[in-house]
Amino acid sequence: MESQSIHNEDFENKDADVQPQDSVDFSDEETQLAASSDELQIEDHENIDDTDADADADAETAAAHANAYDALERPALLDALAKLLNENSVQNLKGEVEAIKVAFYKKFALEQERLRREFAAQNDSDEAFVMPDDGLEVRLKELFAKYKQMRAEQAEKLEQEREANLTLKLAVIEELKRLLERQDDFNVIFSDFKQLQSRWRAIGAVPQPKQKEVWDVYNYNVEKFYDVVKINKELRELDFKKNFELKQLLCEKAEELLLRQDVVKAFRELQKYHEQWRDIGPVAAEFREPLWERFRSVTTQINKKHTDYFEQLKVEQQNNLSLKQVLCEKAEELHTTPTVLMKEWNEKTQLLLDLQKMWKTIGAAPRKESAKIYRRFRAACTTFFENRRVFFSEQKAEMQNNLQQKLELCAQAELLSESDEWKKTTDELVKLQAQWKAVGPVPHKHSDAVWKRFRAACNKFFDRKKEYFATQDARYDENLKKKEELIGEIKKFVTSDNPSDNLAAIKEFQQRWSEVGYVPMKHKERLQKEYRTAIDALFEALHVSDADRQLISFKARIASSADKHGRQMPHEREKLEQQLKRLKNDIQLWENNIGFFARSKNAEKLVQEVKNNIEKARKELSVVTQKLALLRNVKD
């Protein structure tokens, strides 16, 4: 007999996890979105941040302070911002202020997620979670309002200064015009000219719309001064040479910018060279146009690279926008199509997580569309997970019921784990395993424990069964040897002249055979055939009838029964009673048929055949009756 081992992993039904197994970090996008509210936007007031620094400098300043600010908690960040505003000029603070703002909202997002997880752990859900208001964000917005007011005041002040600078530069131009009309000593005139140039350079910026116009007028009068005033030839050539060298150096520096990989920085650097070019005086007339053409040619190339860069960037960002729109549509489709099964929810959840991962690999969209498209994608994700939360919330009661069912199955399996009724218990455990598979998922926090409990109970029984049948195999081999030896004895048995002794010997052989237990299945049929052949040979030698053989064998079976009360043979008694009833019915039918056949002509052969059947059935009936008598005579 072979054990029926069952591998538990074949029927294991892992309960679905109601939380996503993976997540995508959108903290950067969320931080930028939180920091992009109107209250926290910094207006680009003209020239506040570009007097000594430009946008790149702002970014570099923010990057330089990022690590230091990231190490600070939100209260400390606010203290740092307040200190910046109190101890520094608002000019050139934009990079640091932006860095503090971003660091604040990163910390805010981390704190919010920490509190959300704690709330969910205590309440089994984060459905009712509300971020507590600690007043820090209000203070941040107050400080930003102060900073923006300071910037506005600084912008107004700078604008007034530029208007004043415009008046001063126009005065220099007027003095330069009057200088052209003077007839004083050359050295006095030239000295005053140099003083005017120094005063011009010392005056700060003018309003942007007037900048080029004012410079053109100034440059025109400077060149006119050199052309009209009778300057000493050597002094004039020396001044022209100096200006030529300075402008030639600017041309060389500008040409080096063509090799820069960062075309934006190269463009910004070129603007500074143009400012310097304007402040340098004229060169000899024969060099003015070629030198300017050289500088202008480099400017044209850099400007084209700058334009091409932003055109390409525009195309790439538009492509990114298109890709993100597709992801939005797919995310929206996930929550608009009906979902009713937990498996479908889990599959869709994984699909959405994959969409989120794809989103992170796509570059920036156009600035004016970036926040809008992200809000759309976030809204689709939020709606999906909200619908998912509602679904699993509704499943909670069912899952609790499933847990109770599985706990009951665990209890039943544990009761069966100690049973020694191997076949019956195996069947019952198989049924329990099928029931386990049919029960739906349980709450995630109980899933692993209840499964391990059920599996342990099943494993305990099947391990015991495996161990038992491992020892049975050795007994089967021993039984095989005993039965082969017994067949050998039967074949060698020599009958005596005493029939009773011979029958007693046959009965003993039969009883010994019945008392030997099971043998390996592959030898069972062969042994049974050899045994039957040997016993039948003895019966033939003793001229024992078939009926007597049956009774002798039946008595031996009863005698070898482990339970002498006959309770191990209820099926045998029922079988004999049914056989007895069938034989009586057959005999009665055949006897009736004889009367019918007797009235027919030429029926002798058919009647004789029926009589033979009746005789045979009566003999069989006698054997069955005696077997039943033997069973009835077994003492209670």
395-430 pLDDT, tens digit per residue, is: 788 888 899 999 999 999 999 999 989 899 999 999
Q: How far apart are CA 381 and CA 352, in angstroms?
A: 8
| CA separation for the pair 117, 276 (Å, rounded) | 59
- The answer to whether the beta carbons of residues 619 and 632 sit under 8 Å apart is no
For the residues 366-390, what does the mean pLDDT come to? 88
Q: Answer yes or no: are the C-beta atoms of 192 and 148 closer than 8 Å.
A: no
Residue that has been written with the tokens 């997580």 in this structure: 353
What is the arithmetic mean of pLDDT over 227-242? 73
Mean pLDDT of 46-73: 56
DSSP structural state of residue 599: T
What whole-number percentage of the chain has pLDDT above 70?
80
List for the chain the helix, strand, coil content (%; round to 5).
80, 0, 20
Residue among 463, 416, 460, 419 at smallest CA distance from 435? 416
Q: CB burial class (10 A; 0-12, 13-18, 19+) of residue 496? A: exposed
Please name the helix (run of DSSP H) or strand (run of DSSP E) that holds residue 289, with its range, or none: helix 285-336
pLDDT tens digits, one per residue of 561-602: 544 444 556 677 777 778 778 878 877 777 777 766 666 666
Confidence (pLDDT) at 6: 37
Percent of the chain with pLDDT over 90: 22
Torsion sign across C-alpha atoms 572, 578, 580, 583:
negative
Give the C-alpha distances (Å, rounded to integers) separating 84 from 42, 92, 165, 542.
16, 11, 29, 124
User: Which residue has 């007037």 as its token pair?
Assistant: 210
Cα separation of 206 and 256, whole Å?
A: 30
According to DSSP H, which parts of 25-135 are helical? Answer: 27-34, 55-70, 74-87, 94-123
Handedness of CA 80, 85, 90, 94 (dihedral sign): positive
Per-residue pLDDT, 559: 61
**Is pLDDT at 19 greater than 50 in this prediction?**
no
What own/partner pairs with CB < 8 Å and gap ≥ 24 does 326-335 have? 327/355, 327/358, 327/359, 327/362, 327/377, 328/373, 328/376, 328/377, 328/380, 330/355, 331/355, 331/377, 331/380, 331/381, 331/384, 332/380, 334/380, 334/384, 335/380, 335/383, 335/384, 335/387
**What is the three-state SS of 486-523?**
HHHHHHHCCCCCCHHHHHHHHHHHHHHHHHCCCCCHHH
What mean pLDDT is predicted for residues 163-173?
90
Q: Extract the tokens encoding 19.
A: 């939380």
Distance of alpha carbon 45 from the chain centroid: 46
Largest interatomic CA distance in the chain: 176
Evaluate if residue 84 carries a pLDDT over 90. Answer: no
Token pair recorded at residue 311: 């055109």
**Residue whose C-alpha is closest to residue 519's, from 472, 567, 450, 454:** 472
Interval 376-391 mean pLDDT:
88
Least confident of 343-347, 387-391, 463-467, 604-608: 604-608
Mean pLDDT of the chain: 80
Residue 42 near residue 148 (C-beta atoms within 8 A):
yes
Nearest-5° Cα angle at 522, 520 to 523: 70
Which of 215-229, 292-306, 384-398: highest mean pLDDT? 292-306
- Helices 521-541, 499-515: crossing angle, 10 deg rounding: 170
Q: Which of 531, 528, 530, 481 is closest to 509 using CA atoms? A: 531
3-state secondary structure 220-273: HHHHHHHHHCCCCHHHHHHHHHHHHHHHHHHHHHHHHHCCCCCHHHHHHHHHHH
Query: How many other C-beta atoms are found inside a 10 Å radius of the C-beta of residue 133?
Result: 8
> Which contiguous run of DSSP H or E holds residue 362?
none
Average pLDDT over residues 203-221: 86
In this prediction, residues 55-73 reach a mean pLDDT of 61
Given a contact cutoff of 8 angstroms between Cβ atoms, the answer to whether 487 and 461 are in contact is no
Specify whether the CB–CB gap between 267 and 303 falls below 8 A. Answer: yes
Count of residues making up the chain = 636
C-beta separation of 366 from 318 below 8 A: yes
Question: Would you call 210 exposed, middle or buried from its count of C-beta atoms within 10 A (0-12, 13-18, 19+)?
Answer: middle
**What is the rounded distance in angstroms from the CA atom of residue 302 to the CA atom of residue 377?**
38
**What does the alpha-carbon distance between residue 523 and residue 484 come to, in Å, rounded to a whole number?**
10
Which residue bears the tokens 């069952």?
6
Q: Are 125 and 386 in contact (CB under 8 A)?
A: no
Confidence of residue 297 (pLDDT cuts 50, 70, 90): very high
610 touches 594 (CB < 8 A): yes
In the 3-class helix/strand/coil scheme, how is 158-219 assigned residue by residue?
A: HHHHHHHHHHHHHHHHHHHHHHHHCCCCHHHHHHHHHHHHHHHHHCCCCCHHHHHHHHHHHH
Residue 616 scores a pLDDT above 70: yes
Strands (E) across 410-559 are located at none
